[in-house]
Structure 1
Amino acid sequence: MPTMIEPKLIAGNANQPLATAIARRMSMHRGMDVSLCDARVERFNDGEIFVEVYENVRGEDMFIVQPTSNPANDNLMELLIIADALRRSSAARITAVIPYFGYARQDRRSKARTPITAKLVSNMIVEAGIERVLTLDLHATQIQGFFDIPVDNLYASPIYALDAMHNFRGQMEDVMVVSPDVGGVARARDLAQRIGAPLSIVDKRRGKPGEVAEMTVIGDVKDKVCVIVDDIVDTAGTLCKAAEVLMENGAKEVHAYITHGVLSGPAVERVSKSVMKSLVITDTIRATDAVKACPNIRIVPTAPMFAQAILNTWNGTSVSSLFDHKTLGPIYEGLYAAE
C-alpha cells in the first residue's frame, strides 16, 4: 500500500513564532512530530530574496505560513518565491496559509485611476503555483472571488465569543457589541449573535482621508460594557476616538476585539493612553516589543484554529466546522474555562 503523505509546513520570516506554534499544535493533534521544513529565506545585499529548501518535498502536501504584513512587499515576495521553489521541487500541492492578507483594503476602485491591488496580488499568488489559500478575516469577503483557486476564509469571531463569555462572565447582560462604522455591521452582528448581546453603531464621517470629522453613536450605550469589533487596527486614531465618544455617551467601559493588529506609527501610544480598558488582537501579525509591553493590549492565539484548519484541508474534511465557537471550544481547551 502507498505511504500516506503527511502535511509539511514551511515558513517565511514574517511570523516565525506563529508558524512554530501551529507546528507544535499539529504535533499534539497528530501524536507525532510536525516540524517546520528546514529551509533558508534570506536577502542578498541589494535586498533580493533567496530561498533554499534543504528537505526533499517531492510529492508532499506543502503549507506555507506567511502573513503579508509590514513590510508587505518583502513578505509577499517571500511567499511567492517560496511557492516557486516548492513548485519547481515537485511538491504535490501548495497551500498558502496567509493569516493576514495584505493589500486587502485595496479591494475596489474608490476613485478614478486607482488600482484594485487585492486582485493583482491574488493573480500573482495563483501564478506562483499556489493551489489553495487559507486566511483569517479578510477585510472584504468578496476578495475570495478574486482568486481562481479555493480560498478558505476563517473567522476570529468564534474565538472572540469564547473570550468574551470567559472574561465578561457575570456581566454579560451589560455587554453591547459596537461596530465602529456602518461597513463593519455584519462583522459586529456576528459576534453579537454568538454571545447574545445587542448591537450599536458608531457612524463616522471623514473630512479627508485619515481624519474623522464627526462621530455619532446609533443606539443607547448608557451603563453598557461596550465591545468594539473590527478586522484591522492600523494607527488606532479612529478606534480611540470611537472609545471616547462611547464614554461620552454614558458607556460604563469600552473594550475592543480587533483581528489584525497592524498598529503602525503612534498606535501603541494612543491605545495605552486611551479610555479603552483593553484591546484584544490576534497573533496573525508578529507583535512588536512595544505591543507586548502595552498594559491594555492582549493577544489571543490563532495557532489552535490554523492547525486544525490545516489538518482538515490535508485530510479532506470540512473547514467550515471551525466557524462555530462550540466546535472551537475543545480546540482551545485550557485557555478558556468551560462555560
Structure 2
Amino acid sequence: MRPLKLFSLDTGADFARRVATALGVPLAAHEERDFVDGEHKLRPLDDVEGADVYLVQSLFTDPASSVDDKLVRLLFLVGALKDAGAARVTAVIPYLCYARKDRRTKLHDPLSSRYLASLFESLGTDCVVTLDVHNLAAFENAFRIRTLHLPAQPLFVDFVVERLQGDGNPLVVASPDVGGVKRAEAFRQALGERLGCAVGRAFVEKYRSAGELSGGVLVGDVRGASVVIVDDLIAGGGTITRATQAVQRGGAARIFALASHGQFCGNALVDLAQLPLEALAVTNSLPQPAGARLQVVDCAPLLAEAIRRLHSGGPATQLSV
C-alpha cells in the first residue's frame, strides 16, 4: 500500500492536526513562504513520491487572508505535490467556497462552482472530499473527477438525541426555507429512526432578492413542541433569525438550531445570542471564536474515517449516505 501523507496550509493546521490525531499519522511538513511583493510559494518538505496524499483545508476568509488567497495556495500546493511525484492527491475541503453560486439566477450570472471544479481538475487533483455542500446535485455535476460528499447528519443526530433525553414534548424538524426541505427531511427521518418515534415537519417561507430577505410564514404545527431547525450554513444569520422567530410565534416549547458550517459574518453571533435558542450548534469545519455561545461538534473524526477508507480502498461511499 502507498504511504499516506497528510498536509494542510498554515491557516488550517490546527484542524488538520485533529484529523491527523484521529488517523494516527503525523501532519506532513511543508514550506509556505511569502515574498515582499505579495506573491508566495509552497512546497512539500516530506518526500511524497509514490504517496497517497491528502490536503486538508477549508476555504474561507479570515482576518489573515482571503478565501481567494487560500484557494490559490491550495491549488499551488496540489500542483507542487503532483510535480514532486505524488501518486494521488485528494483535496479534503470541509467548507468548500463558491458552492452557493451553482446556477444562473440573473442574466450573465457566473457558474462559480463549475469554474472552481475546473481549477482543481486542471492541476491534476484526483478526488475532492467535502462536508455538506449547499447543493449536492450541483456539486456532483460540477466535477469530472471523483468526489465524496460527507453529510454532518449523523453527528447532529447524536447531538440532538443527547439533549432530548427525558423530553416529553412532540418533536418537529424544521427547515428555515423551502430550499432546505430535503435536507431537513433527511434529518427528520434519521432522528425518528434513532429515537423510534414520530417526528413532525415544518418549514418557513423565505424570499431573497439583492441580498434582502423577506417572508417568514411558518408552515407546520410546532405548538408545544421541541423544534430542531436544520440548515447547511449560517453567514449573516438572517435566515436562522427569521426561522427562530416564526417557530417561537408558532408556540414552540424548545428551539434548537443546527448548521454544518458557521461563518458568522459581521455581528451575526451577537445578534443570534439574543434569540430564544436553547442551543446553536455548528461543526468545526470553520474555526470558531473562543467564548461564543456556540456548541461546536467535531467533524475531524468523520473526515479522518473518510481518508482512512479512501486510502485503504473503501468502502468510502457508504459515508455519503
TM-score in terms of structure 1 length: 0.88
Q: Is 1:140 aligned to 2:135, yes or no?
A: yes
RMSD of Structure 2 on Structure 1 (CA): 1.4
Write the distance in 2 (CA, Å) between the matches of 1:177 and 1:283: 22
1:119 to 106, 114, 117: 114
Code of the aligned partner of 1:200: A
Gaps of 5+ in 1: 28-33, 325-339
The aligned counterpart of 1:47 is 38
SS of 2:124's partner is coil
164-173 or 108-117, which deviates more? 164-173
CA deviations on 1:174-203 (whole Å, 9 max, x unpaired) are: 221100111101100111001112211111
Which deviations, in whole Å up to 9, do the C-alpha atoms of 1:26-59 show, x marking residues without a partner? 01xxxxxx11111122422333231022111111
Deviation at 1:23, TM superposition (A): 0.2
Counterparts of 2:278 and 2:184 in 1: how far apart (Å)?
19
Q: How many residues align?
A: 310
Q: How does 1:238-317 map to 2 (within 5 A)?
A: 238-287=239-288, 289=289, 292-295=290-293, 297-317=294-314
**Structure 1 residue 108 corresponds to structure 2 residue 109:** no
Instruction: Encode CA deviations 1:151-190: one digit per residue, 9 max, x unaligned.
Output: 0001011111111111212227522110011110110011
Distance 2:98 2:240 in 1: 20
Q: Structure 1 residue aligned with 2:56, among 65, 69, 90?
A: 65
The runs of 4+ residues in structure 1 deviating greater than 6 Å are: none
Q: Does 1:86 align with 2:81?
A: yes
C-alpha distance in structure 2 between counterparts of 1:200 and 1:54, whole Å = 52
Unpaired segments ≥5 residues, structure 2: 193-198
**AA partner of residue 62 (structure 1):** V
Three-state SS of the structure 2 residue aligned to 1:228 is strand
- Counterpart amino acid of residue 24 in structure 1: T
1:202 pairs with 2:238: no
Which residue type is aligned with residue 41 of structure 2? F
TM-score by length of 2: 0.93
- Aligned positions of 1:109-258 closer than 5 A: 109-142=104-137, 143-171=139-167, 174-196=170-192, 197-206=199-208, 208-258=209-259
SS in 2 for 1:273: coil
Q: Deviations over 1:246-303 (max 9, x none)?
A: 111111121111001011111111111222222100011112x3xx3122x1100011
Contact 2:177–2:204 under 8 Å retained in 1 = yes
Of the structure 1 ranges 74-83 and 272-281, higher mean CA displacement relative to structure 2 is found in 272-281
